[in-house]
Structure 1
């Protein structure tokens, strides 16, 4: 399942109950099923839920982590919105 989501749609998925989503470099990932697996714990993921977490992600991870988990967790891409 890969869909195009707006930033507003991603922001609505800011809790585990809503299907916790984050954005990393324009891709959207669903983390609800990953909460217990995350080595840093669920708390840090909940803090960035519904937001662009690119800066935080790259601070602690390398591209191999993304390559490993992207196929399982990616739900779509961020849709570019028109700027007025």
Structure 2
């Protein structure tokens, strides 16, 4: 089930105990169980947890990576926040 999260809510998921979430484009992905499989190592995922990782993701990955892993890791989308 997909849920809508604010960037602030995603920022709370930055520890392995609570979960490691990253944002890519408008998707929110739980990479907690993927850290040991990540070819680039766990360190970068832990460093980017709770943040918008779009720029860094597309710098090192092609569209095929998100197509392959995205469906099983995606937990929701980023909710638009009102700008004051």
Q: Corresponding residue for 2:50? A: 50
Name stretches of at least 5 consecutive residues in structure 2 with no aligned partner: none
**Unmatched 5+ stretches in structure 1:** none
Structure with greater strand percent: 2
Q: 1:27: which partner in 2?
A: 27
Say how many residue pairs are matched: 84
Corresponding residue of 2:83: 83
Deviation at 1:23, TM superposition (A): 0.2
TM-score, normalised relative to structure 1: 0.98
- Give the distance between the partners of 2:35 and 2:52, measured in 1 at CA: 17
Say what the alpha-carbon RMSD is for the aligned residues: 0.5
- Cα distance in 1 between the residues matched to 2:57 and 2:15: 18
Normalised by the size of structure 2, how large is the TM-score?
Answer: 0.98
Q: What is the CA distance between 1:62 and its match in structure 2?
A: 0.2
